[in-house]
Structure formats: C-alpha cells, structure tokens
Amino acid sequence: MRVALLGSGRGSNAEAVLRAQQEGRLGKAQVVGIYCDVPDAPMLQLGPKFGTPAFYLDPGPFKTKFSPEQETFWADALTKHQVDLVVLAGFMRVIKAPLLERFAGRIINLHPTLLPAFPGLDGIGQTWRAGAPEGGCTVHWVTAEVDGGKHLDQSRVARGTSDTQESFAQKIHQAEHALLPKVIAELAEKFPQR
C-alpha cells in the first residue's frame, strides 16, 4: 500500500511513521512521498533523512483551505505517484473535492482529541481548558465534515494532577506517534494487493 504523508509543520507524526517503516513496523505499507504546503517547513527535511521523496506543493492563496485549482493540482500529483492512502499528519487545511472525490475512502487524519469531543483547531488546548480528566488522539476517515469521519482507532491519555498543558500535550503527542503507524499497518493488511 503506497502511502503519502501530508503535513504543514515540523512533521513529528510523519517522522514517527517513517521511523516505524525503518524499523519494519509498517507491515505492507510503504511511504512513497512527503507532501507539504509550507515551503520552509521542517517536515521537508525528513525526506533526505529517511530517503523518501519530499515535495513542497503550492496550496494557493488561502491559509486554511485550497483554491479549487490547487486542490486539483494536489490530487493530480498524488495520483501521478500512484498513492493508495493519503495520511493527514498535522496538515492544516480543510480537504474538499477534488481530493475527497479522487481519494474517496482513502484519506485518514490524526486528530489530537478523543473525537467526537473537541473537533477543529487547538484540540489539546480545548481539552485542557475544558478540564477534561483525559485526552488522547483519534485516527479517522476524512469526509466533508471536519473531524467527522468514522473512527479507526483511539488512544487515551490521563490528565495527571501534576500535568501542565505542555506536559499533557507531550503525552498526547507520544500517543499519536504510536497510534498512527499502528493504524497504517493495520490498513495495509486489509489493502488489496496490486
């Protein structure tokens, strides 16, 4: 199963997936490209580090979404690279058609809360400010509804009495780094062979 990692920042979740691949924990999945919408994002440096092609793709003029033309451009690029599964790992844009149409049922997202609680931006901050006794992360299918797709798996993280928001966030990030590669490997097991 050919996997594309899409992100917008430092790429810690992408790095966790690439490290899992390096250690043989991705099973039948192979990361075939890192795709980033920020030209100087540290995520792009993961390409040379892990021997994986890394691409900056122009997202167009908007900050949190694509222009229709640029979304078609991204969909074309992923199609050209024969991507089977699109993984949103810290990707800060809302996905719509044509990506959703072209890759229907083949896009997953990692969200840093126990969905359906606290969808959208700053999930960890939302969880913290609400005083929730636990947080965590969810891998789910991407649909037109932001953070609304069917859940594939979740990981729970207790909020300790000595936790600060930063230490709580760190525990959630560790859970993310374990959960995302696990879900990708599980999906690859079920993926039809070429």
Active site (catalytic) residues: 111
Q: Single out the residue of 176, 70, 50, 24 nearest to residue 113, CA to CA.
A: 176
| Cβ atoms of residues 140 and 107 within 8 Å | no
Q: Which long-range contacts (CB under 8 A, 24 or more apart) does 90-93 make?
A: 90/7, 90/8, 90/9, 90/10, 90/11, 90/12, 90/13, 90/14, 90/43, 91/6, 91/7, 91/8, 91/37, 92/8, 92/9, 92/37, 92/64, 93/8, 93/37, 93/59, 93/64, 93/65, 93/66
| Cα–Cα dist 107/101, whole Å | 10
